[in-house]
Amino acid sequence: MFNRRTDLALEMRELLLEAGEALTEIDGVRAEEELLEKDIKVTTVEILDKNGEEALNKGKGSYITIELPNDWWMEQNVYEAACKACAKELKKLVGGNSLENVLVVGLGNRNITPDAVGPVALDYVLVTRHLIRYMPEEIDERLKSVCGIAPGVLGITGLETGEIIKGLSEKIKPSLIIAIDALCSRSVKRVNKTIQLSDTGITPGAGVGNRRMSLDEREMGVPVIGIGVPTVIDAATIAADAIDLLIKNMRENAGGNQGFLEMLKGAEEEDRFLLLKEVLGENVGDFIVTPKDIDEQAEEMSRIIANGINIALHQGISLSDIDRCK
Amino acid sequence: MFNRRTDLALEMRELLLEAGEALTEIDGVRAEEELLEKDIKVTTVEILDKNGEEALNKGKGSYITIELPNDWWMEQNVYEAACKACAKELKKLVGGNSLENVLVVGLGNRNITPDAVGPVALDYVLVTRHLIRYMPEEIDERLKSVCGIAPGVLGITGLETGEIIKGLSEKIKPSLIIAIDALCSRSVKRVNKTIQLSDTGITPGAGVGNRRMSLDEREMGVPVIGIGVPTVIDAATIAADAIDLLIKNMRENAGGNQGFLEMLKGAEEEDRFLLLKEVLGENVGDFIVTPKDIDEQAEEMSRIIANGINIALHQGISLSDIDRCK
Amino acid sequence: MFNRRTDLALEMRELLLEAGEALTEIDGVRAEEELLEKDIKVTTVEILDKNGEEALNKGKGSYITIELPNDWWMEQNVYEAACKACAKELKKLVGGNSLENVLVVGLGNRNITPDAVGPVALDYVLVTRHLIRYMPEEIDERLKSVCGIAPGVLGITGLETGEIIKGLSEKIKPSLIIAIDALCSRSVKRVNKTIQLSDTGITPGAGVGNRRMSLDEREMGVPVIGIGVPTVIDAATIAADAIDLLIKNMRENAGGNQGFLEMLKGAEEEDRFLLLKEVLGENVGDFIVTPKDIDEQAEEMSRIIANGINIALHQGISLSDIDRCK
Amino acid sequence: MFNRRTDLALEMRELLLEAGEALTEIDGVRAEEELLEKDIKVTTVEILDKNGEEALNKGKGSYITIELPNDWWMEQNVYEAACKACAKELKKLVGGNSLENVLVVGLGNRNITPDAVGPVALDYVLVTRHLIRYMPEEIDERLKSVCGIAPGVLGITGLETGEIIKGLSEKIKPSLIIAIDALCSRSVKRVNKTIQLSDTGITPGAGVGNRRMSLDEREMGVPVIGIGVPTVIDAATIAADAIDLLIKNMRENAGGNQGFLEMLKGAEEEDRFLLLKEVLGENVGDFIVTPKDIDEQAEEMSRIIANGINIALHQGISLSDIDRCK
């Protein structure tokens, strides 16, 4: 099967369910859904064991997906509800881990809009560590120590993000790392509408850029929570989806004609990649699909993530205070 | 037939030729190709009459397409050859029209990368009108009077670009308008590799944004040359191309089986738009395909267009002088 | 007397009053102050006749200055009060003029931070003209028709701003033009803390750039309201102020010694410009003084002006609605 | 004496020489000048011992200042000569240290123009480390391994730059660190015209931002070369210079009048800071003087530094190759 790229555990599970396991659940995977106010849907996928890991091609851990309603960016109170939902789910993932000293990492390339979610979100995160260190008496006690860095991407710095963060982490010894990144989705309906939070960190190769070293607890030595927003779809995925849908439609119209059904099966098994290469050219992997107005949407998603973090970390601070400070 | 969107006359002609008219040329259309140094290919398509207009769905006039080799942006001398090619073809289109007083218009939205070619190119155009007016004695006589404006897009200004440019044109009475815009291609292989110049101005609805009033000689009262670079493909076009290719492959494998062939014909005639809507969602038209590194490529294309204009207008000025001034 | 540059009528009046006319008011000038909530101070200076014009070196008309408290940008409710104050004073100036069809002009150079107030404010202005024209049934009736343009500056476009706006105005026939610009102050305490509104339009040579043609009712044929924020002080003004203060202090210490006093008078009358040229170099006029954090402050001032316009034009629309839309 | 702030060793020396030591040189300091092609002046100040350190208020080491001619940015061949001069002086400072594995650090805040020299220069540095590591066979052997990071500033990250760079340095073990930063000058004639290179690293508190931990060999454990460009002058320095000049002029005119000379002495010794606070307000330190067109000039200075590094590190690579790659 052609590998539609997705970084969302939710979509991996959907793909599997579509692929014929609709009635029985996947073994080693537990999922549950919840509907919050303003039509915000939260799905928690837990990968419990090796079987679940293999089935979803993702590591053991919790993956929480927050889906916002269509046109979410038009209404102030949906925006506020989204910030609160993000804070609530983040706190669930943090669990008993300490929030005393948090390092927020904005992954991705600020100069490429669909890859800039991490750095832009970091712009909206309330950074307090220097204030708490150098002028503690002037700081509201409810503020936790937060610092942040946008390390850039390998192609521009020549440095593995992991090297930079690991080196920094050993110096400042955070109690928790939160890493924000752009993700890749397989469906246009999730782009800029979905936030995934996970206690497994950020896996490499995510988003638009290419990264290699995991930002996770094993590598970093402290808990790492990954937060991501799908901002792009591979162009190849769109093309492959169109082909699949056509074959499905044709199969329904085949009326039991065995010869034709077999031909469709042949078409299905054909090297999909070769076909896509003919459509998208040699550099089939270099093209991405984005909404036209990605700039505004991605900026707002970045703000929601940042404010989710701000609210979760700094108890008793209101959203309007935060929006004013930044 | 599903309407793959393209702003390139070259591609309209290719589509027609593919569609079965490979051997006979299209009536009312004249085309010729030329190969310049550094593998730069120039194709001139002339639409001569009504028949040509209908066949290519474009107005009467000359459309010159400059195609750069792959990886053109890696080599300084390809860049220089591209600037010169652009200047040469622009001068052909200008013909006997006066260059004494040129208004350059950078169309599009500076904040949306694939739509920013016009405004960014304008940044690199040597603007001289104010110098010639206010300090003529200090100005090299070889410099022509050039002014420029990036009027913004309807969705942001609330103003038709045509209204702004017409009003300005009536005040400053240019001898020629050159309008630069981002275009839409139907093939990934042309994106950020192709420059189209035309003496028919810029037709509305081009590029990423939506515009309504033509920038052409009839509306503006002075000759208008349009220069465009395809920076995006409609996502729907990519998906439709994938479907077509699949059907074509299946037809080749049908081995003359009439039943299969008819079934494929049915699939071909199915409402392609409904299929794409299922893949791309209700807002099927809102998604675009771009290369990941569009920022850099589009900036370089903008520079080539700007320098093409600079070299064509200001006789005897060298490229390195120009690159230093800007 | 060395000419400290200021675009604020308020400061011209202060200069005069300082210069010895402290007890008697200036003839032909009427001034009054009002204190609004949150310590926002509003001063209205009316220049009534020729005498007033000469005294303040500004045209006949009303000049309203809104002064915000120190550290105004830290508190959400000061921000909100400032937006409302700006709206209220703007409506006073508009008086009986129609708001049916407003053109907002963002003057200045977006790429030079202290000159970008106009273009940035325009980003936050609710532009509605296209919606009202092309989809009137979907638009809230309380919204007025507003369009906007940031024409760029002479040095970049080669075009007089007046030419662009006059040409556009003749095409779209607005009922009112509102022009926003960066201004020059003579005192650090007003920089990024003061908004001046005037029914005399914008006078040329204001702000950082150099402009020549007035944007006022006489030139444009429709009423023009100018709104400005001082973002810079000439470096020469700062240096001259330091000199004046020193001389004043020395005079106080001279103890009536006539010889000293005459010497000081000599120093005072010395060619101040030559002295400043020695400090600031040949290009004495090319240096400006700004706060270090001008970027953030100027952005917030731009938002206040934009929201003042939004609230004044669109009855019944709340600030949080507006902030969400933009 | 009021402390005019400067980060240039050259200016510290000038200040001292002006202050009466014009004929005798300063002990513990050695200085020499050289004139390169295109009127580029190179001054080398060596601080040899404790006495020199105290005299110039800078650490022991070599400080090389490259001064470009006025209007240097107008001519391509001055630009090229400046790049080469920067490369040549950098190589002198590197001396016998290894260039095998260089970390370039772009200090400062990218969002504040006069503080952005470091991050912008880094954009133009050829970064190769990832290519050499992951695809060594495709890389020209003459290229050295270079990586780079722009760590942001304390106020935004909450992190000491020193912590970030030290942590990273311990991970990747560079043979040399080159740190680029904006500096503060005391004279408008040096702003955006001067490059200082030093083998003492970058001292804290430099430039517009405030930094605390030194980037030098003692802290980092590897040689650190600092490269800086003065982009601002403290507003207080300009004002103080004006006062000094006035007093000097008055003294010359005092004609031996002892009473007046004493009064001037009194004025000179007066608390200069109080005077400046009256001119510049309570936040006297928050205002800076910059040229109006700082954006363009600072960008070009950044390119010169970057290309100086590129030429110095990568033997046999030409400037036009480099300008194309970036």
Per-residue DSSP letters for B166-216?
Answer: HHHHHHH--SEEEEEEEEEES-GGGTTTEEEEETT-B-TT-SSS---S-BS
Beta carbons of A111 and B295 less than 8 Å apart: yes
Q: Write out pLDDT tens, residues C157-191.
A: 999 999 999 999 999 999 999 999 999 888 888 99
The verdict on D72 touching B (C-beta cutoff 8 Å) is: no
pLDDT at C80 over 50: yes
pLDDT over 60 at C271, yes or no: yes
Query: Rg for chain D (alpha carbons), in Å?
Result: 21
Question: Within 10 Å of residue C211's Cβ, how many Cβ atoms?
Answer: 21
Query: What is the pLDDT, as a whole number, of residue C208?
Result: 41
Confidence band of D324 (pLDDT split at 50, 70, 90)? low
Alpha carbon separation from D233 to A224, C275, D286 (Å, rounded): 43, 18, 11
Residue C289 has pLDDT above 80, yes or no: yes
Apex A49 CA angle, A47 and A50, nearest 5: 110
Q: Which range, of A213-227, A290-304, B168-182, B239-253, averages the lowest pLDDT?
A: B239-253
In this structure, the strands spanning B61-67 and B194-198 are antiparallel
How far apart CA C240 and CA C234 sit, in angstroms, is 10
Chain A residues with CB under 8 Å of C320 CB are 76
* Partner A contacted by C19 (CB < 8 A): no
Q: How many Å apart are CA D99 and CA D86, to the nearest integer? A: 16
Question: pLDDT digit string (tens) for D174-211?
Answer: 999 999 999 988 888 899 999 999 999 987 554 444 44
| A263: nearest Cα among A250, A280, A281, A282 | A250
The residue with greater pLDDT, D213 or A185, is A185
**Angle at alpha carbon of residue D264, lines to D263 and D268, rounded to 5°:** 120
Compute the Cα dihedral for B128, B133, B136, B141 and give only its sign: positive
Give strand pairing partners of C44: C32, C64
**Which range is most confident: A245-249, C296-300, D224-228?**
D224-228
Question: pLDDT tens digits, residue range A38-53?
Answer: 999 999 999 999 999 9
User: Average pLDDT, stretch B180-184?
Assistant: 93
- D248 Cβ neighbours under 8 A, 6+ residues apart: none
What is the token pair recorded at B207? 């590029």
Alpha carbon distance D302, D317 (integer Å): 19
Q: How confident is the model at residue D1 (pLDDT cuts 50, 70, 90)?
A: very low
- The pLDDT, as a whole number, for residue B23 is 42
Q: Please say if the pLDDT value at position C22 is more than 70.
A: no
Choose between B91 and A236: higher pLDDT: B91
- For A172-204, b/e burial (b = at least 16 CB within 10 A) is bebbbbbbbbbbbbbbbebbbbbbbbbbbbbbb
**pLDDT reading at B109 higher than 50:** yes
D316 reaches A (C-beta below 8 A): no
In the DSSP assignment, the letter for residue A256 is T
Give the per-residue pLDDT at C254: 76
Q: Interface partners of A (3+ CB pairs, < 8 Å)? A: B, C, D
> Is some CB atom of chain C closer than 8 A to the CB atom of D260?
yes
Residue pointed to by tokens 């893949």:
B279
Quick check: D112 pLDDT over 80?
yes
- For residue C176, give the 3-state DSSP assignment: strand
Inter-axis angle of helices D235-253 and C235-253, nearest 10: 50
Q: What is the mean pLDDT of residues C277-285?
A: 75
Coil, helix or strand for B318? coil
Tokens for A85, please give them: 């939902």
pLDDT of residue C206: 46
Confidence of residue C61 (pLDDT cuts 50, 70, 90): very high
Kindly report, residue by residue over A8-21, the tens digit of the pLDDT: 888 888 877 776 55
- CA dist C170 → A35, B284, C146, C161, D171 (Å): 55, 39, 16, 14, 65
The predicted pLDDT at position D211 comes to 47
pLDDT above 90 covers what percent of chain C? 46
Q: What is the ipTM of this complex?
A: 0.87
C-alpha angle with apex A242: A241 to A246, nearest 5 degrees?
115
pLDDT of residue C281: 76
Task: Please give the biggest Cα pair distance in chain D.
Answer: 81
Region A176-186: mean pLDDT is 93
The DSSP result for D146-210, as a single string, is EEEE----HHHHSS-HHHHHHHHHHHH--SEEEEEEEEEES-GGGTTTEEEEETT-B-TT-SSS-
Question: Residues D224-239: what's their mean pLDDT?
Answer: 90
Residue C130 to residue B169, Cβ atoms within 8 A:
no
Would you call A32 helix, strand, or coil by DSSP?
A: strand
Q: State mean pLDDT over D9-16.
A: 80
Average pLDDT over residues C217-231: 95
Task: Work out the pLDDT band at C19, boundaries 50, 70, 90.
Answer: low
Shortest alpha-carbon distance between residue D245 and chain C (Å): 7
Q: Residue B15 — very low, low, confident or very high, per pLDDT cuts 50/70/90? A: confident
B178 interface with C at CB cutoff 8 Å: no
In this complex, how many residue pairs, one in chain A and one in chain C, have their CB atoms less than 8 Å apart?
Answer: 16
d(CA B97, CA B174): 11
Mean pLDDT calculated for residue range A109-133: 92
Which pLDDT value is given to residue B274? 75
The shortest C-alpha distance from A303 to chain C (Å) reads 13
Lowest mean pLDDT among A257-271, B138-152, D115-129: A257-271
pLDDT at site D258: 80
CA gap B252, D5 in Å, rounded: 80
Q: How far apart are CA A66 and CA A69, in angstroms?
A: 10
Q: Is the predicted pLDDT of residue B208 greater than 50, yes or no?
A: no
Helix (H) or strand (E) holding B162: helix B161-172
Cβ neighbourhood burial of A245 (10 Å; 0-12, 13-18, 19+): middle
* Chain A partners within 8 Å of B193 (Cβ): none
Q: Which residue has the higher pLDDT, B154 or A85?
A: A85
Of the listed ranges A105-109, C29-33, D16-20, D244-248, the least confidently predicted one is D16-20
Residues D54-111: tens digit of each pLDDT: 888 888 999 999 999 987 766 788 999 999 999 999 999 999 888 889 999 999 998 8
Best of D102, D164, D178, D325 to substitute, by most chain A Cβ atoms within 10 angstroms, is D164
Flag whether pLDDT at B210 surpasses 80.
Answer: no
Q: Which residues of C touch B147 (CB under 8 A)?
A: 157-159
Residues of chain D positioned with their CB less than 8 A from the CB of A158: 127-131, 145-148
Sign of the C-alpha dihedral computed for residues C302, C303, C308 and C313 taken in this order: positive
Q: Which residues make beta-bridge pairs with A61? A: A47
Q: Is A205 on the interface with D (CB under 8 A)?
A: no
Q: What percent of chain A clears pLDDT 70, i.e. is strictly above it?
A: 89
Please write the tens of the pLDDT for every residue from A208-230. 444 467 899 999 999 999 999 99
The C-alpha atoms of residue D97 and residue A72 are separated, in whole angstroms, by 57
Distances (CA, A) of B197 to A138, B16, B200, B206, D151: 63, 21, 9, 14, 44
Q: Are strands C176-185 and C101-106 parallel, antiparallel or unpaired?
A: parallel
Q: Would you call A149 and D157 a contact, using CB atoms and an 8 Å cutoff?
A: yes
Write the DSSP symbol of residue D57.
T
Q: Per-residue pLDDT tens for D280-292?
A: 777 777 888 988 8
**D19 pLDDT higher than 70:** no
Residues of C in contact with A324 (CB under 8 A): 74-76, 79
What percentage of chain A exceeds 90 in pLDDT? 46
Q: What average pLDDT does the structure give for chain A?
A: 85
Q: Does A321 touch chain C (CB under 8 A)?
A: yes
Tell me the pLDDT tens digit for each residue of D135-178.
888 777 888 999 999 999 888 899 999 999 999 999 999 999 99
Q: Which chain B residue shows the shortest CA-CA distance from C172?
A: B163
Domains of chain A: 9-236+287-325 (3.40.50.1450), 237-283 (no CATH)
pLDDT number for residue A1 = 35
Taking the CA of residue C181 and the nearest CA in chain A, the distance in Å comes to 24
- % residues pLDDT > 90 (chain D): 46
Q: Give the pLDDT of residue A212.
A: 64
Q: Which residue of D has its CA nearest to C250?
A: D267
Mean pLDDT of D109-118: 89
| pLDDT at site D15 | 75
What local confidence, expressed as pLDDT, does residue A40 receive?
96
- Pick from B111, B193, B238, B295 the residue to mutate for testing the A interface (most A CBs within 10 Å): B238
Beta-bridge mates of residue C63: C45, C198
Closest Cα in chain D, distance from residue A296 (Å): 20
User: Which of chain D's residues have a Cβ under 8 Å away from the Cβ of B75?
Assistant: 324
